[in-house]
Amino acid sequence: MNKSRLLYVPFDQLNENYGILKNSSPATDLIVMVESLRMTTGRNWHPEKLYFLISSARHFAQHLENIGFQVEYIKSKTTLTGIKEVQAKYPNLTVHATESSSYRGNRILQDHNVQLVPNDFFLTSRFDFNLWASNQKSFIMENFYRAQRIRLDVLIENGKPTGGNWNFDKDNRLPPPKNYDWPAYLEHQLDEIDLEVSIELSHTPSKIWATTRTGAVRQLTNFLTNHFADFGPLEDAMTTQNWSLHHSLLSPYLNNGILHPSEVVEAALDVYRKGNIPIASCEGFIRQIIGWREYVNGMYWYLGEDYRDSNNLNSRRQLLPLFMDSSKTSMNCVKQTVFDIEQRAWVHHIPRLMILSNLALLTGINPQVFLDWMREVFIDAADWVMVPNVIGMGLHADGGQMMTKPYIAGGSYISRMSDYCKNCHFDPKKRTGDDACPFTTLYWDFLDRHLDTFKSNHRMFQQNNGLKKLKDLPEVRKRALKVLKNLDAGTI
Ligand SMILES: Cc1cc2nc3c(=O)[nH]c(=O)nc-3n(C[C@H](O)[C@H](O)[C@H](O)COP(=O)(O)OP(=O)(O)OC[C@H]3O[C@@H](n4cnc5c(N)ncnc54)[C@H](O)[C@@H]3O)c2cc1C
Ligand code: SF4
């Protein structure tokens, strides 16, 4: 049979059961995939991220060929030039695709008259999320999550939450344990395609990240077998003893489409139903997938394209040298976190929020500059997920549209939730003096600098009250100036 359609598959929709591929056929459809120069060389991407994206896409192209499709996998200047090149070869075919995961991607496809089907790589359609959001006074994730539990009928029994509570956060905030037996890390051996990509990029992969569906499913099974039961209690802990703790490491596969959230939720619930998984761990994990992940994607579309440019705190500082080079700081928590990113392009949500974003917020780094850096260095970064997480959650640059108060903390929080401070030159309890923890100094200085903005925020009453009681505020301000100068110079 003659082909009638050209199906464009981007590198974050690698799944034949969803989107445009769901109703496709090798008999009538030809696939186009584009490795664009703009993507590979356009920015200072972490090599591990580039390796992961390209090798996964090439494996998927091979998989489509194995199941009978003709695939045009080409390198081109941009996505659009690539599509046009293939169109020129097959002028009678109409181009079809799934809605893109980003505003920019959608615009390129729409301007080129590509026929789009809805993006079903999430559990919540953009339409359904808009319905929820447009009925809210404020966009509280917890409210969205409870509605999701009911709508999707997940961990609901007789109309009530399983275990009697919606939320087990109070059981889930333990510090890192001492003398703990961590399960071994899972490694993914490189195959021919992986080696080819690693040679092209002159990069030796860490073997942490799988580039095939088989590998991603192994990762899911490994999580459910060795980590799921303990996921909840240690969710927020940070330790130098183990870089991934009990986190699933599934975000790269959920975000490039190899795994669909519905299968991850189903697999987790199956294991839970067999027993041995505490409800606090099961609920904690389910919340991440059907709650946070869906909420963040929904907010990305609901808040509009200009949201990414928000800078309500008028933050103007350039990126600190320590973000680009872990040797530029003796702050142990930051050094370890940036070092981990250099190694694997990943750290879990607390270092992202309470170390990296916290530091960027306290020092007043420009949100768009910080967003660019985060986009470049994380294995799982994509526009839809980084924009709300950084602009709304991490940097509070949106005037509180997403979060009712900024996520800021001094050294005492980091000291409680990690083992970083015991080997640090600084003292988390001190806010003045040469060995004062920079986080602690900058925390009070931030509250002082932004008092006008936050003084009527009732959720910050306690923090602002604490500020009023400080007797050494002039010394704190002086120390903060010195800390900021040294952070700019990469000498602290
Ligand atoms: C400032 C900041 C930036 C972040 N940037 C990204 C990003 O670029 N890409 C990304 O996928 N996640 C991002 N996150 C969310 C979270 O840190 C990662 O999803 C998680 O660390 C990935 O590791 P994991 O798969 O082991 O997650 P787990 O802890 O095992 O959680 C399970 C899954 O829940 C989902 N999830 C949990 N929280 C979020 C969230 N806030 N937003 C979206 N998905 C969530 C992820 O898909 C994750 O795989 C960010 C969080 C913060 C605070
Ligand atoms: S003392 Fe401060 S800088 Fe050092 S590890 Fe603790 S929180 Fe980080």
DSSP letters spanning 298-345: HHHHHH-GGGGG--TT---BPPPHHHH-GGG---HHHHHHHHHHHHHS
- Give Cβ neighbours of residue 355 (< 8 Å, ≥ 6 apart): 238, 333, 334, 337, 414
- Quick one: 166 and 83 in the same domain? no
Q: Report the percent of the chain where pLDDT is more than 70.
A: 100
User: Which uninterrupted H or E stretch holds 417?
Assistant: helix 411-417
Q: Which atom of ligand 2 is nearest to the CA of 440?
A: 2
Pairing of strands 160-161, 156-157: antiparallel
- Distance of CA 349 from the midpoint of ligand 1 (Å): 6
Q: What is the DSSP letter of 218?
A: H
In a domain, 332, yes or no: yes
* pTM greater than 0.95: yes
Looking at all shown ligands, the one closest to residue 396's CA atom is 1
3-class DSSP assignment, residue 270: helix
Total count of domains within the chain? 3
- Distance of CA 411 from the midpoint of ligand 2 (Å): 6
Q: Looking at ligand 2, which residue's alpha carbon is closest to its atom 6?
A: 421
Q: Which domain CATH number covers 39?
A: 3.40.50.620
In a domain, 194, yes or no: no
Q: Which atom of ligand 1 is nearest to the CA of 249?
A: 26
- Which band of pLDDT confidence, cut at 50, 70 and 90, is reported for residue 40? confident
Q: Which atom of ligand 1 is nearest to the CA of 261?
A: 47
- Quick one: 29 and 47 in the same domain? yes
- Distance of CA 237 from the midpoint of ligand 1 (Å): 15
Helices (H), 187-320: 192-201, 213-226, 228-231, 251-255, 261-273, 279-286, 294-303
Q: 168-196 burial, b if ≥16 CB within 10 A, otherwise e?
A: bbebbeebbeeeeebeeebebebeebbee
3-class DSSP assignment, residue 181: coil
- Quick one: 391 and 293 in the same domain? no
- Which band of pLDDT confidence, cut at 50, 70 and 90, is reported for residue 1? low
- Quick one: 372 and 462 in the same domain? yes
- Quick one: 239 and 180 in the same domain? yes
Phi, psi of 93 (to 5 degrees): -90, 140
- Which band of pLDDT confidence, cut at 50, 70 and 90, is reported for residue 206? very high
Q: Looking at ligand 2, which residue's alpha carbon is closest to its atom 5?
A: 421
In a domain, 200, yes or no: no
Give the separation between CA 56 and CA 148, rounded to whole angstroms: 31
Is the CB of residue 190 less than 8 Å from the CB of residue 51? no
Average pLDDT, the chain: 96
Q: Looking at ligand 2, which residue's alpha carbon is closest to its atom 8?
A: 333
* Residue where one domain finishes, among candidates 96, 117, 138: 117
- Quick one: 141 and 261 in the same domain? yes
In a domain, 394, yes or no: yes
Q: Which amino acid is at 64?
A: L
- Tell me, using a 6 A CB cutoff, whether residue 331 lines ligand 2: yes
Angstrom CA distances, 219 to 27, 210, 320, 353, stand at 33, 8, 34, 24
Q: Which atom of ligand 1 is nearest to the CA of 394?
A: 1
Among 238, 331, 418, 429, which residue has the most ligand 2 atoms within 8 Å of its CB, making it the best to mutate? 331
Burial class (CB within 10 angstroms; exposed 0-12, middle 13-18, buried 19+) of 320? buried
- Tell me, using a 6 A CB cutoff, whether residue 252 lines ligand 2: no
- Quick one: 416 and 361 in the same domain? yes
- Tell me, using a 6 A CB cutoff, whether residue 333 lines ligand 2: yes
Is the CB of residue 310 less than 8 Å from the CB of residue 326? no
Q: Is the pLDDT of residue 172 over 80?
A: no
Domain range enclosing 26? 5-117
* Residue where one domain finishes, among candidates 80, 98, 117: 117
Of residues 42 and 65, the one with the higher pLDDT is 65
Is the CB of residue 332 less than 8 Å from the CB of residue 424? yes
- Distance of CA 430 from the midpoint of ligand 2 (Å): 10
Give the separation between CA 98 and CA 112, rounded to whole angstroms: 14
- Residue 45's pLDDT is 96
Q: 380-416 burial, b if ≥16 CB within 10 A, otherwise e?
A: bbbbbbbbbbbbbbbbbbbebbbbeebebbbbebbbe
- Quick one: 96 and 218 in the same domain? no
Looking at all shown ligands, the one closest to residue 407's CA atom is 1
By mean pLDDT, which of 6-20, 30-44, 86-100 is the weakest?
A: 30-44
Q: Looking at ligand 1, which residue's alpha carbon is closest to its atom 29?
A: 247
- Which band of pLDDT confidence, cut at 50, 70 and 90, is reported for residue 174? very high
- Residue 42's pLDDT is 79
- Mean of pLDDT values over 295-307: 98
Looking at all shown ligands, the one closest to residue 337's CA atom is 2
- Quick one: 374 and 266 in the same domain? no
In a domain, 199, yes or no: no
- Residue 204's pLDDT is 97
Q: Is the pLDDT of residue 171 over 80?
A: no
3-class DSSP assignment, residue 185: coil
- Tell me, using a 6 A CB cutoff, whether residue 483 lines ligand 2: no
Give the separation between CA 359 and CA 363, rounded to whole angstroms: 6
- Quick one: 159 and 298 in the same domain? yes
- Quick one: 34 and 90 in the same domain? yes
Q: Which atom of ligand 2 is nearest to the CA of 420?
A: 5
- The pLDDT tens digits of the residues spanning 89-111 come to 999 999 999 999 999 999 999 99
